[in-house]
Amino acid sequence: MNIESKESTARPPVVVVMGHIDHGKSTLLDFIRKNVAEKAAPDEPRPVAGREAGGITQHIGAYEIVHVGKDEKVHRLTLLDTPGHEAFRAIRERGTQVADLGILVVSAEEGVKAQTKEAIERMTADKLPFIVAVSKIDKPSADVERTKQSLAENGVFLEGYGGHVPWVALSSKTGEGVSELLDLLILSAELAELRGAPGEEGGGVIIESHLDSKKGISASAIIRSGTVRRGTFAVSGSSFSPLRLIEDFRGKPVESATFSSPIRIIGWDTPPRVGETFQTFETRKEAIEAVSQATEKPAKQPAMASAAGGETRAVVPIIIKADTAGSLEALRHEIEKLISDRVVPIIISAGIGAVTESDMKLAATNESALVIGFQTKVDPPAQTFSLRAGIPINNFEVIYVLTEWLTKAVRERIPSREVEKISGRIKILKTFGREKDRQIIGGRVESGTVAAGEQVKIIRRDVEIGRGKLRELQVMKQKVSEVAEGAECGLLIESKIEVAPGDVVESFVLVKE
């Protein structure tokens, strides 16, 4: 192949858009694409917000736009939309790893929230320059000054507010401030002096992979260097793909694409690992050699797998199928959070694509297994097996609906157990005599209420030294069934341990939880 000059040229910036859920990331991108990108490419796909279930972004979305800057030149930018929901933390991390610049979207109504803080930490850790976009300034409850203060309290000091972080207040509804934001991005990219050599073989980072029943295994990627050309060969780890079909971010086939462009490569032999780099080669031989030399890293097992040995913990087998590798990653994260001292959810099978009959047969051999699908289909044989075997297939389109259901389903499988509930605490003041295992003592109830018949712990110098039973209670030489806090009483305790003045006796009852 005749490769053109490998001299470097200016490279468009890759910009990751981050922020808390519902703070306006996708709505901002909608406005940009409708009012900026569509003027250059009117056949753009439909808007970002609302395209995914529940109106929230659940995958990384990559889009190319062009903007005429203050210098009246046409500038190209690639924007990455990241999910704000907490479950997609790993996906947001990939966004910062492939980006040159960041936009931190913060609602003027709410200020800094949980995922805002996480985004700040992520971009700071990755030393990623970012611009703050204070959104929703058209709302009646918007308060830009309060938002600035909220950012300062979290270590982000804006220009004109004691710091050097560039910012703009904007409305994705009216468009106010959007052009200024794009101008700031262009200026920041120029200051960063981003360069790339279009004559080199292309390479980049895999940001998503998924299985299509018609097209096979595909992967979305951001090109970081060189040019990716149809007719060459791509390698990512141990995954291989002849480049017969390359699509741009609109889903249109292209002959080639160069640095900073989002593309989809279709035809992989196995799903490339999300976050892995990829490289293209001119010949199949070179690509195969690269695959053979790749040291395949073992797939990271969830921490829950090693926790299944606890004898007192219930084990919940889970089979998950999802639309993309990123979704599986998010689900693993949510399942891992459900591990406790009483229950261990374990993923026994996970994959991309439809729920199959094989998945259902696996569920049938694992008692109480949960079958979960996320944004995926159910094969007809799997549906038939489900109905016949009485094993439900739990399919979801929105991540927070799935996580709420899963949390409840796992908790329902926790077996009940008896726990000790402290009912009262008695400070021992005096002892009166002991016969065999029974002892008469006097004390004061320091907290709670003690009742005759309850079991007790005997505590000396904050250490439990034995147990017994509270056989009888007296107040003013009269038998009573219980004594409340603050009262002095006589007690008849049955225990093999001799109680001494200064000890503490705690009464308790067994309750199920």
Of these ranges, 10-24, 59-73, 157-171, the one predicted with the greatest mean pLDDT is 157-171
Residue 406 above 50 pLDDT? yes
Instruction: Name the CATH superfamily housing domain 10-195.
Output: P-loop containing nucleotide triphosphate hydrolases (3.40.50.300)
- CA–CA dist 139, 269 (Å, integer): 50
- CA–CA dist 129, 102 (Å, integer): 6
Domain boundaries, the chain: 10-195, 203-293, 303-412, 418-512
3-state per-residue secondary structure call for 423-487: EEEEEEEEEEEEECCEEEEEEEEEEEEEECCCEEEEEECCEEEEEEEEEEEEECCEEECEEECCC
pTM (2 d.p.): 0.61
Residue 301 above 50 pLDDT? no
Of the chain, the percentage scoring pLDDT greater than 90 comes to 48
Instruction: Specify the CATH class of 203-293 in words.
Output: mainly beta
Tabulate helix, strand, coil % of the chain (nearest 5): 25, 40, 35
Name the token pair of 310.
């606890």
Residue 55 above 70 pLDDT? no
Where are the extended beta strands (E) located within 49-187?
61-68, 74-81, 101-107, 130-135, 167-169
Top-confidence residue, 3 or 92: 92
Give per-residue pLDDT as tens, 434-491. Answer: 888 999 999 999 999 999 999 999 999 999 999 999 999 999 989 999 999 999 999 9
Burial class of 511 by CB neighbour count within 10 A (0 to 12, 13 to 18, 19+): exposed
- CA–CA dist 425, 504 (Å, integer): 7
Check: CB of residue 268 under 8 Å from CB of residue 241: yes
Which among 144, 170, 124 is positioned nearest to 27, based on CA atoms? Answer: 170
Residue 377 above 80 pLDDT? yes
Look at 71-85, 125-139, 313-327, 495-509 and tell me which has the smallest mean pLDDT: 71-85
Using CA atoms of 315, 321, 327, 332 in order, give the dihedral in degrees to the nearest 10. 10
Any idea which fold 303-412 has? Rossmann fold (3.40.50)
Of these ranges, 62-66, 207-211, 285-289, the one predicted with the greatest mean pLDDT is 285-289
Query: Rg of the chain over CA atoms, in angstroms?
Result: 32
Distances in Å between the Cα of 263 and the Cα atoms of 62, 170, 260, 318 are 9, 30, 9, 33
> What pLDDT does residue 8 have?
79
34: Cα within 13 Å, side-chain hemisphere = 15
> What pLDDT does residue 417 have?
75
Establish whether domains 303-412 and 418-512 are of one fold.
Answer: no
> What pLDDT does residue 12 have?
92
> What pLDDT does residue 208 have?
82
Mean pLDDT throughout 181-200? 90
In eight-state DSSP terms, residue 118 is H
In sign, the C-alpha dihedral spanning 43, 374, 104, 89 is negative
Top-confidence residue, 46 or 265: 265
Residue 212 above 60 pLDDT? yes
> What pLDDT does residue 296 have?
46
Give per-residue pLDDT as tens, 89-113. Answer: 555 565 556 889 999 999 999 999 9
Across the chain, mean pLDDT equals 84
Q: Which amino acid is at 38?
A: E
Give per-residue pLDDT as tens, 118-175. Answer: 889 888 988 889 999 999 999 999 999 999 999 999 999 999 998 999 999 999 999 9
Spatial neighbors of 112 by CB under 8 A, at least 6 apart, are: 106, 120, 147, 150, 151, 153, 154
- CA–CA dist 221, 207 (Å, integer): 5
Residue 6 above 80 pLDDT? no
Top-confidence residue, 84 or 276: 276
Check: CB of residue 226 under 8 Å from CB of residue 197: yes
Instruction: Name the CATH superfamily housing domain 418-512.
Output: Translation factors (2.40.30.10)
- CA–CA dist 397, 374 (Å, integer): 6
Check: CB of residue 219 under 8 Å from CB of residue 208: yes
- CA–CA dist 394, 402 (Å, integer): 9
